[in-house]
Chain A
Amino acid sequence: QLQLQESGPGLVKPSETLSLTCTVSGDSSSRSSFNWGWIRQPPGKGLEWIGTVYDSGSPFYNPSLKSRVTISVDTSKNQFSLNLSSVTAADTAVYYCARHVGTGHWDVWGKGTTVTASS
């Protein structure tokens, strides 16, 4: 069974870069030919799509974050990562990594990691 696990600092200073890694484990046949991405949820609010890296390698980002976001995949390590630069308090959220099926649904999620942007 495929599992995803987020890791990274829980506290980031304003203006610095938030960096998270998602490690994929389990059924190896469930890793290839899929897309991977990140979704976040500010405290008490709904879900916001951050971006997706497609199997082709092409990334697509939420336009509201595009200038600050980079998502990359390291297949040799079974990991993909999120970098979000110039963070502010508005970036405080639970960050989830997940598997994205085509341009459709997200079928496997990590447990989420809380990131607080504060000095």
Chain B
Amino acid sequence: QSVLTQPPSVSGAPGQRVTISCTGSSSNIGAGYDVHWYRQLPGTAPKLLIYANNKRPSGVPDRFSASKSGTSASLAISELQGEDEAYYYCQSYDTGLSGSVFGEGTKVTVL
């Protein structure tokens, strides 16, 4: 049911930078609603990583950054570390749902 499209997987070597895209539509990101990002380690609950397009909660390192433009958003992870191996989800508000919509999730693999 996801209406936010993410690549299934991205990978990079330690120390490299990877980016994850999140493509929406005029009923969510394109309508001006904020995009948020979560990280989910295996067997654990998602954890808020970025909110309101580019804001980091306390404790999230500045290696994580995000941006939004038009109907899309992206998350960048620089100085990739082994602990960054996880699933990453984008989320926004959708007028068709009158509620939250999540991306399909992207698995980040550290080579």
Which of A's residues lie within 8 Å of B, judged by CB? 37, 39, 46-49, 51-52, 60-64, 96, 100-101, 103-107, 109-112
Structural contact, A105 and B2, CB atoms closer than 8 A:
no
Among B33, B44, B102, chain A packs the most CB atoms within 10 A around the CB of B102
Report chain A residues within 8 Å CB of B2: 46
Interface hub of A39, A46, A48, A62 (most chain B Cβ within 10 A) = A46
A107 adjacent to B57 (CB under 8 Å): yes
Per the bound structure, the CA–CA distance linking A60 and B97 in Å amounts to 9
- Cross-chain contact B99 with A104 (CB below 8 angstroms): no
Does B15 touch A at the CB level, under 8 Å? Answer: no
Cα–Cα distance between A94 and B2 once the two chains are bound (Å): 17
Does residue B41 face the partner (Cβ distance < 8 Å to A)? no
Q: Report the bound CA distance from A97 to B45 in whole Å.
A: 10
**Cα of A8 to Cα of B84 in the assembled complex, Å:** 32
Cβ-defined contact, B99 with A49, below 8 A: yes
Name the one of B44, B52, B91 contacting A106, with C-beta atoms under 8 angstroms.
B91
Q: Which residue of A lies closest to B101 (CB)?
A: A49
A64 to B47, CA, bound (A): 25
- Considering the chains assembled together, what is the distance between the CA atoms of A112 and B96 in angstroms? 27
Contacts of A63 in B (CB 8 A): 96-98
Whether the Cβ atoms of B89 and A52 lie closer than 8 Å is: no
A5 CB → nearest B CB, Å:
11
- Interface status of B103 (Cβ within 8 A of chain A): yes
Chain B residues near A101 (CB-CB < 8 A): 51
